[in-house]
Chains A and B, each alone.
Chain A
């Protein structure tokens, strides 16, 4: 009787309801997006739901995180969510993980589910979710919000595009605020999280047109909706497949790392880290660093050629022994270079010839 209104839909029926009961979905984040998505999925009878979130309920969550009540302040979100969802539908088996998703636990946790819903609030976890899902070949439903505006998409579904295909270069968290910093209309995550639950149910049931290769953008103030299409980028899929999850996302703007060792540089180059390199040696000095994002400007020419320097990524500055590169960094800082500057300690003499990459 519970699912009678589903069963009477010809697109669902008994067979579709059984698919929902057999499905296993992992909700990453039990916050603004997670609360509405979880309620609809549990009500719909999605048989196994995992919830991962390390936070406790805070009073400022209650304006939009509708699984939680005033009495729940201070309690673990996943525990409260489990209790509320069990009361809503005892058919559903709820597994909770009172921790944050990390490079260490992501693969083991996600492996147990058919699909993932991304309801996180930071870029580090979003890139981690993407890379882990690509490695495990699991589809995931993306949702993200900003003040009155939300984005929804379905990634990594049946050889469709991924999050990195849409946003290849990770932005700095410090330049894009989250809800805590920017504010958010309480109902916005309700709309976007509900759209995520809708997409997840469509994938399980195999009905309709999923938002694979499409980014839906909803603006609650203007009532405008846009669907932007985008394609799979094999290079970005390969990057996610091969990346060490510990390096899925590094926020250079927040990093205090101002110098790296030759070993670290080699690892960065091998894992395809998003950096530019500036070689401040003279043209005759060897070994050369053969890597696509290297620009060579001898130290003495930097003031005149300052405009040539790329500022879209963190810049690793290299020379022969690590001294001239340090002087170049001091000059660039004084002239308000717009991105993170990192010195290669010991210079190319310490790297040797081992890291030439085509």
Chain B
């Protein structure tokens, strides 16, 4: 399936886009994180969160094509 993923902050900078449909063969948020971190190793160090349909998701939440997914990094600046 394809998942529609929105990127925020430095994740959007690394991806070069703010939104993308990505092919996904896994099942859960955990599978998605593993896939993304394999493709972009920088993600491992930033403790980002995954939101599904505007709600922070647990790692075992199951995903489907209609979900709106967002990757949220913490910001340091003030």
B54-74 Cβ-contact flags toward A at 8 Å (1 or 0)? 111000000000000010111
Tell yes or no: B23 within 8 A of A by CB: no
Contact B42 A175 (CB under 8 A): yes
A355 within 8 A of B: no
Whole-angstrom distance between the Cβ of A183 and the nearest chain B Cβ: 10
Evaluate contact between A166 and B56: CB separation under 8 angstroms.
Answer: yes
A-facing residues in B9-62 (Cβ within 8 Å):
9-10, 18, 41-42, 44-47, 49, 51, 54-56
Cα distance A29–B45 when bound, in Å? 26
Whole-angstrom distance between the alpha carbons of A161 and B76 in the complex? 19
Contact with B along A72-104 (1 / 0, CB 8 A): 000000000000000000000000000000000
**A198 part of interface (Cβ distance < 8 Å):** no
Q: Give Cα A333–Cα B48 distance, bound, in whole angstroms.
A: 25
Contact A149 B56 (CB under 8 A): no
CA distance A29 to B77 in the complex (A): 11
CB contacts (< 8 Å) of B49 on chain A: these are 166-167, 230
Which residue in chain B gives the minimum CB-CB distance to A193? B78
A256 to B78, CA, bound (A): 26
Q: How far is the CB of A26 from chain B (nearest CB, A)?
A: 15
Measured between alpha carbons, how far is A215 from B72 in the docked complex, in Å?
Answer: 10
Q: Give chain A's interface residue range (CB within 8 Å of chain B).
A: 35 or more
Q: A146-B9, A228-B56, A230-B56 given as contacts; is B76 within 8 A of A338 (CB)?
A: no
With contacts A121-B76, A222-B18 taken as known, whether A231 is within 8 angstroms of B56 at the C-beta atoms is yes
When distances are taken between beta carbons in the complex, the residues of chain B under 8 Å from A147 are 9
Q: A146-B10, A226-B70, A229-B54 are in contact. Are A178 and B47 (CB under 8 A)?
A: no
- Do the beta carbons of A312 and B44 come within 8 Å of each other? yes
In the complex, whether A311 has a CB less than 8 A from a CB of chain B is yes
A331 within 8 A of B: no
Query: A189 an interface residue at 8 Å Cβ cutoff?
Result: yes
Specify the chain A residue showing the minimal Cβ separation from B55.
A229
CB distance from B56 to the nearest CB of A (A): 4
What's the nearest-Cβ distance from chain B to residue A123, in Å? 6
Residues B76 and A173 in contact, CB atoms below 8 Å apart: yes
How many whole Å from A337's CB to the nearest CB in chain B? Answer: 11
Establish whether residues B76 and A189, one from each chain, have CB atoms under 8 Å apart when the complex forms.
no
Q: Is there a chain B Cβ closer than 8 Å to A177's Cβ?
A: yes
Residue of A nearest to B72 (CB): A228
In the complex, what distance in Å separates the CA atom of A277 from the CA atom of B77? 31
**B75 and A150 contacting across the interface, CB-CB below 8 Å:** yes
Query: In the complex, which residue of chain B has the Cβ closest to the Cβ of A312?
Result: B44
- Contact B75–A228 (Cβ < 8 Å): no
The residue on A at minimum CB distance from B46 is A171
B55 partner residues in chain A, CB cutoff 8 A: 228-230
Q: How far is the CA of A230 from the CA of B47 in the complex (A)?
A: 16
Chain B neighbourhood of A173, CB < 8 A: 76
Contact status A144-B56, CB under 8 Å: no
Q: Are the C-beta atoms of B18 and A171 separated by less than 8 Å?
A: no
| Closest beta carbon of chain A to B20's beta carbon, Å | 15
Are B41's CB and A338's CB within 8 A?
yes
Residues on A with beta carbons closer than 8 Å to the beta carbon of B51: 228
Closest 5 CB pairs of A and B: A144-B75, A230-B56, A171-B47, A121-B78, A169-B47
CB<8 Å pairs between A and B, sample of 10: A32-B78, A146-B10, A171-B47, A177-B77, A219-B8, A228-B70, A228-B72, A229-B55, A311-B44, A338-B45
